[in-house]
Amino acid sequence: MTNAYSRFLSALFCLFLGGLLVWHVLLPDRVRSDVENRTLAQRPEFSWSALADGSYTEAVEEYFADQFPLRDQWTGLKARAEQAIGKTEFNGVYLCEGTLISKVEAPDEALVEKNLSYVRRLLEKTDANVYLGLIPSAAEIWQEALPAGAPSWDQTELLAAAAELGLPQVNLEGALAAHAGEPIFYRTDHHWTTLGAFYGANALLEAMGKEPLSREDFTPEIASENFNGTLYSQSGVHWLTPDTMEFWVEDTGLSVTSWRTGSPEPGSLYERSYLEQKDKYSAFLGGNQPLCVIKNEAVTDGSKILLVRDSYSDSLAPFLSQRFSEVHLLDLRYYRLPVAQYATENGIADIVVLYSIPNFITDKNLVFLAQ
């Protein structure tokens, strides 16, 4: 390589970097990335103290990374290049023959023991029936689809430990495993599909001695054929066919009340405005909120159930509304009053702590069960 050619390449590279810098300065900062489904870093405020302790330079680095021109396209290109050299794991997500499956890391055993103890203490504080429903993720149910030798924590360890608590368990592992050949999880998202939620609801009803639902009683509505979920965002794998999202339960005769701001306000079984956004899964009940109550005027036996929930419950609750006069959903990330007290004040006889296993082993809010 001649000196002239070397200088030419160096100049071309500097021109490329300079062009990106000018482009970055001219482009308006984005507040949010729909592809990554997160808020992006904004231009940091300068201060001498922040410069001295290093926080300013860290913030600048994060800002430039988040606001980099064509960031979403570069992320996808990076994943494509890594796939070309044989990589199968992308930011903790496995690419498994057209399906994305999130890796489950081994948990902090002390936290797991604490969370199980909090469920036990809830049982001691209430006269209501308490059930524990732990939902295995796709990494457990579809483990045969994982790349050869791909590590992922054995989720049955938690199920075995939970069985020693001495309270009724909802056999969600068995219910999902029995239908593992069906599309019970999304391909681009970590949640179960509406079909998976249907099987989960029946597992819960059977554990409580209630009549299960019949699949023939529902006519699925295709809500979206363009759902790219959290694993799409996390992995950078942007070339898979989007998921189809379905609504099964009709909202006729159902009333929904949400406590998003601490006061009751009308809600919806399906918040269809989310179908026009990236976070389409939040169309179920409108997504995360401290408290939500579904009432079915057609169920006249006065039966009530309280779900201490994560987001998996949002697509399951509509099915439960077909068997209970009231379904209450309480999120410990936002609701901090005693769960036992809430059940007593609202005449609820059945409480279900319903969590996906990856959330249960990492959630630090379960301590509020013990209040």
Lowest mean pLDDT among 51-55, 204-208, 322-326, 329-333: 51-55
Q: Are 342 and 306 in contact (CB under 8 A)?
A: yes
Summarize pLDDT for 236-255 with one digit per residue, the tens: 999 999 999 999 999 999 99
What's the pLDDT band for 23 if we cut at 50, 70, 90?
very low
Full-model pTM: 0.83
What's the pLDDT band for 61 if we cut at 50, 70, 90?
low
Give the span between the Cα atoms of 24 and 273, in whole angstroms.
32
What's the pLDDT band for 20 if we cut at 50, 70, 90?
very low
Residue 30 is predicted with a pLDDT of: 63
Summarize pLDDT for 83-108 with one digit per residue, the tens: 666 677 788 999 998 999 999 999 99
Summarize pLDDT for 120-168 with one digit per residue, the tens: 999 999 999 999 999 999 999 999 999 998 999 999 999 999 999 989 9
Summarize pLDDT for 277-309 with one digit per residue, the tens: 989 999 999 999 999 999 999 999 999 999 999
Please state, rounded to an integer, the average pLDDT across all residues of the chain.
88
What's the pLDDT band for 55 if we cut at 50, 70, 90?
confident
Residue 166: CB partners within 8 Å, gap ≥ 6?
Answer: 120
What is the torsional sign of CA 184, 38, 310, 79? positive
The number of angstroms, rounded, from the C-alpha of 299 to the middle of its chain's C-alpha atoms is 30
Lowest mean pLDDT among 76-85, 92-101, 210-219: 76-85
- Closest CA relative to residue 185, chosen from 243, 118, 133: 243
User: What residue type is 123 in one-letter code?
Assistant: L
Residue 137: CB partners within 8 Å, gap ≥ 6?
Answer: 101, 102, 104, 155, 185, 190, 356, 357, 358
Element (H, E) at 326: strand 326-330
Residue 212 is predicted with a pLDDT of: 97
> Helix, strand or coil for residue 61?
helix
Residue 11 is predicted with a pLDDT of: 61
Tokens encoding 168 = 């009724």
What's the pLDDT band for 58 if we cut at 50, 70, 90?
confident
Give the span between the Cα atoms of 342 and 350, in whole angstroms.
12
Q: Are 213 and 319 in contact (CB under 8 A)?
A: yes
- Write the burial class of residue 147 (CB in 10 Å: 0-12 exposed, 13-18 middle, 19+ buried): middle
In this predicted structure, the answer to whether residue 41 has a pLDDT above a threshold of 90 is no
